[in-house]
Amino acid sequence: MNRMAAATSRSVETLGTALERVRCRRPVLIERMMGSLSVHGQLAPLVAVERKGTVEILDGFKRLAAAKRMGWPALVVSTTERDEAGQWATMLALNRGFQSMTELEEALVLREIAQTGLTQVQMAELVQRHKCWVSRRIGLLERLHPELVEAMKVGMLAPGVARRLLSLPPGNQLQIAAAARSAGLGPRDTELLVGLWQKARDPAVRQHLLADPRAALAQAYPELSPVDPRLTPQGQQLSRLLRLVAGVGPRLSRLLPPAEADRLILSKQIQEARRAVSQLATSLGSTESARSAGGSEEPGATATSSS
């Protein structure tokens, strides 16, 4: 049945949130909703399904959470009658086109529908989507570690970050997610970190990525690192390259000396690198000497001018 009842005021304490298990709690959105409710009040009713004597929210979880935190006693709710699969399809329909539901949340809803016994083709017909749309989202959920799914639900892991982890094996997903969370990485930086991890083969390099993700990203992608705005364009380029050299040096040291089987093959490259490093060291030394000389001349010049 698809009948929608008239909106009525209901106590927030009587509204069930069992269906919220498919949503990823994002505290910042609840804060925004609190601001909206404070200024505009409740602009639209919550939508709920009434089954077995209980009223379970289908749409409006952020409004309900915000209202509870603000101490509101009641909200306006419209109830509808749906079967098990129909309630989930309704949730998808209510959030279609507003970008209020992530791909992973859609996947969680589809998993609930699948548990009612429908095939993917039947699910596609029910939600009025192509079967490839259904298959891709279920695939996303199947490839993500269960612990990360739970972390998303409680707002500890951003869906955008989680999506960047899908190319990794489940065990590595946990490692990278923990490192990204401790470093406060967003989706783009997490994607870059995943790329570095996949390219790395040396355990020491991978440990460095986990221990200090931001330093590793700055070393690998100096062009993305912020630079001092006081620098000239040439100075900004020099700053990025200096960071790159400072990052590559320790990594090279950990790999030296090479294995005997590699020594002869790499001999020419090692000699070229040694000459380049020697020339760079000379240039850096000259720069330091010039700075020291300039600093020592300043007081002398001042003394001469004051005598």
Give residue 305's pLDDT: 38
Model confidence at 277: pLDDT above 80: yes
Vertex 49 angle, CA 44 and 50, to 5°: 125
Does residue 39 lie within any of the structural domains? yes
Axis crossing angle, helix 233-255 with helix 213-220, rounded to the nearest 10:
110
> In angstroms, how far apart are the furthest CA atoms of the chain?
100
User: Which pTM does this prediction carry?
Assistant: 0.59
Does residue 134 lie within any of the structural domains? no
Mean of the per-residue pLDDT values of the chain: 86
Does residue 128 lie within any of the structural domains? no
The type of residue at 176 is I
Tokens of 45: 């009713």
Q: What is the pLDDT of residues 147-175, one digit of tens each?
A: 998 888 777 888 789 889 999 998 899 99
Q: Return d(Cα 300, Cα 89) in angstroms, integer.
A: 82
Q: Return d(Cα 90, Cα 108) in angstroms, integer.
A: 14
- Total domains in the chain come to 1
Which secondary-structure segment (H or E) carries 80?
Answer: strand 74-80
Does residue 34 lie within any of the structural domains? yes
Q: Which domain holds residue 76?
A: 1-82
Model confidence at 87: pLDDT above 80: yes
CATH (domain of 24): 3.90.1530.10
- Residue 59 phi/psi, 5-degree rounding, is -145, 130
Model confidence at 13: pLDDT above 90: yes
Does residue 135 lie within any of the structural domains? no
Give residue 303's pLDDT: 41
The DSSP bridge partners found for residue 77 are 8, 46
Residue pair 280/287 in contact by the 8 Å Cβ criterion: no
Provide the CA 169 distance to its chain's centre, in angstroms.
17
